[in-house]
Structure 1
Amino acid sequence: MEYITSVLAPLHPAVQALIATLFTWGVTALGAALVFFFKKFNQKALDCMLGFAAGVMIAASFWSLLAPAIEMSEQNGSSLPSWAPALIGFMTGGLFLFLIDKLLPHLHPGFDIQKSEGPKTGFRRSILLVLAIVLHNIPEGLAVGVAFGAVSHDLPSASLGSAIALAIGIGLQNFPEGTAVSVPLRREGMKRSKAFFYGQMSGIVEPIAGVIGALLVIHMQAILPYALSFAAGAMIFVVVEELIPESQLADNTDWTTLATLLGFGVMMTLDVALG
């Protein structure tokens, strides 16, 4: 960890965010690469992986995003109550994902194509699946970028270690996302290489969102609490609207619940230990 910090510390925050989100995209690709080894994947294992991802995102939303946002509001001496920027940003982030969810055609893994959401299109199932994970990855990339951009302001509540911990946590929960796209496509008869391509492409938005998030908060310190909590609200929307329902489709509820608790514990430990 000290080595990683020493390597990243001299770099511009936007470059740090780019490297971190390239890592999270790479883990998505690793998950998609399981398609080269499995045509089918144990459903209970996949459900547990999705539950674990949900736990990571819930913990990251509080420990890495909302708590620092509230602390920053207290330090800024704003006329608003310290909780107000966090609440405004959190609800705005959820509303943003709600609107994107209605505007972007997509299909959540595990559902029939008749249950695709957003505007009706003639897109193939594979494209709709990728778009669903792209929708999921926007707030994740934004969260990582904002976390690294916040470090540039030398605030006690924003540390490089905490930003790295968030990137590691997001990376861990990206693994099942790649798998959730590529393996079902392979099961439906798609070539392994093509299924892998679609699976890893679902993470391409993270470096873009990460750099944008970092650049925004670098130049506008006043929006930091709002930006952090915005990412948290968007992530919680994804957890409740997508990850938890998908992890429970096959009635593996007890196992997925335990996996969610484990994911929360891992992310909490990473943030507290490294931040």
Structure 2
Amino acid sequence: MLVNWFSNLTPVMQAFCATLFTWFVTALGSALVFIFKTLNRKILNGMLGFAAGVMIAASFWSLLAPAIEMAEDANMVAWVPAVIGFLSGGAFLWLVDKVLPHLHIGAPIEEAEGVKTSLQRSVLLVLAITLHNIPEGLAVGVAFGAISADLPSASLAGAVALAIGIGIQNFPEGAAVSIPLRREGFSRTKSFIYGQASGIVEPIAGVIGAIAVVAMKPMLPYALSFAAGAMIYVVVEELIPESQQDTTSDVATIGAMIGFAVMMMLDVALG
């Protein structure tokens, strides 16, 4: 019954519901702060590596591959939309990275990036996670919006698989925000509120992405590739460097392999 109800929604509403799910999983991860006060660095590295693996797999299996197929079906030069969209997505995140003030997990306040600000360390940490939740929400939204084009390469099952994969990797991300905040002296409740807040941007980005591709169907291959480029930028710029900061880098590598395998399995099995 729930499946029928969801399949009868418009692509934009499907994107909204799917990204509400990814935000909810972020909140669940943040709720771990009510159980744990500290987070072992090895566990954090594994979480970051897992998130990186999911995002890399999603970028190809759920975004770039369908974009190339759509371009071929539309009699375009298949690689052109993929390359332009991919590089544009990376350029967009590079620009946001330079403008939005944020602080990576474990870094001193002096290494805050973006424009200079007097914001507290806690807010800067939340903004760092929020930064790479933007392309995640956008990717889910674009995937659901693509369904309106009635193309074989854009399926409801594939979009659902992407939302599930993003949701799974959001669980450790939520914990990776709230638990360090607790360690810095925040109350459990305040740490949870900040942690789950980092995921609120996903429904916003998801709806924007879905509306954009529904309104401009010829832009679909570019939009999918744009989301992929934005996610890969986050992986290379933030997740991988943060997970390789000490001698437990092998844990992060294993986490990335597992994350990639999980997302690949979901996309192939459901998509």
- In the alignment, the residues of structure 1 paired with residue 164 and residue 110 of structure 2 have an alpha-carbon distance, to the nearest angstrom, of 35
SS at match of 1:119: coil
Q: Deviations over 1:201-228 (max 9, x none)?
A: 0001000000010011111110000000
Change (3 A) 1:4 1:147: farther
Computed over aligned residues only, the root mean square deviation of the Cα atoms, in angstroms, reads 0.9
- In the alignment, the residues of structure 1 paired with residue 56 and residue 161 of structure 2 have an alpha-carbon distance, to the nearest angstrom, of 14
Matched, 1:50 2:44: no
Q: Which residue of 2 aligns with 1:33?
A: 31
Q: Deviations over 1:232-273 (max 9, x none)?
A: 000000001111111111321111101101100110010011
Change (3 A) 1:30 1:253: same
- In the alignment, the residues of structure 1 paired with residue 4 and residue 83 of structure 2 have an alpha-carbon distance, to the nearest angstrom, of 34
Unaligned runs of 5+ in 2: none
- Taking the TM superposition and a 5 Å limit, the aligned residue runs for 1:180-195 are 180-195=176-191
- Taking the TM superposition and a 5 Å limit, the aligned residue runs for 1:1-40 are 5-40=3-38
Correspondence for 2:224 among 224, 228, 251: 228
What is the deviation of 1:5?
A: 4.1
SS at match of 1:152: helix
Correspondence for 1:104 among 91, 100, 107: 100
- In the alignment, the residues of structure 2 paired with residue 269 and residue 200 of structure 1 have an alpha-carbon distance, to the nearest angstrom, of 27
- In the alignment, the residues of structure 2 paired with residue 66 and residue 51 of structure 1 have an alpha-carbon distance, to the nearest angstrom, of 21
Q: Is the 8 A contact 1:5 1:161 kept in 2?
A: no
- Taking the TM superposition and a 5 Å limit, the aligned residue runs for 1:64-213 are 64-78=62-76, 81-213=77-209
Change (3 A) 1:114 1:134: same
What is the deviation of 1:4?
A: 5.6
SS at match of 2:52: helix
Give the counterpart letter for 1:222 in structure 2.
P
Unaligned runs of 5+ in 1: none
- In the alignment, the residues of structure 1 paired with residue 166 and residue 20 of structure 2 have an alpha-carbon distance, to the nearest angstrom, of 11
SS at match of 1:194: helix
Q: Which residue of 2 aligns with 1:258?
A: 254
- In the alignment, the residues of structure 2 paired with residue 176 and residue 86 of structure 1 have an alpha-carbon distance, to the nearest angstrom, of 30
Q: Is the 8 A contact 1:247 1:256 kept in 2?
A: yes
Change (3 A) 1:149 1:48: same
- In the alignment, the residues of structure 1 paired with residue 153 and residue 102 of structure 2 have an alpha-carbon distance, to the nearest angstrom, of 37
- Displacement over 4 Å in runs of 4+: none
Give the counterpart letter for 2:222 in structure 1.
Y
Q: Deviations over 1:39-96 (max 9, x none)?
A: 1122211210110010000000000000000000000012xx2111000000000000
Q: Is the 8 A contact 1:182 1:196 kept in 2?
A: yes
- In the alignment, the residues of structure 1 paired with residue 262 and residue 181 of structure 2 have an alpha-carbon distance, to the nearest angstrom, of 30
Q: Is the 8 A contact 1:5 1:160 kept in 2?
A: no
- In the alignment, the residues of structure 1 paired with residue 167 and residue 220 of structure 2 have an alpha-carbon distance, to the nearest angstrom, of 23
Q: Is the 8 A contact 1:31 1:174 kept in 2?
A: yes
Q: Deviations over 1:135-169 (max 9, x none)?
A: 11110000000000101111000000000000000
How many residue pairs were aligned? 271
- In the alignment, the residues of structure 2 paired with residue 272 and residue 240 of structure 1 have an alpha-carbon distance, to the nearest angstrom, of 25
SS at match of 2:149: coil
State the TM-score, normalized to the length of structure 1: 0.97
- In the alignment, the residues of structure 2 paired with residue 110 and residue 4 of structure 1 have an alpha-carbon distance, to the nearest angstrom, of 42
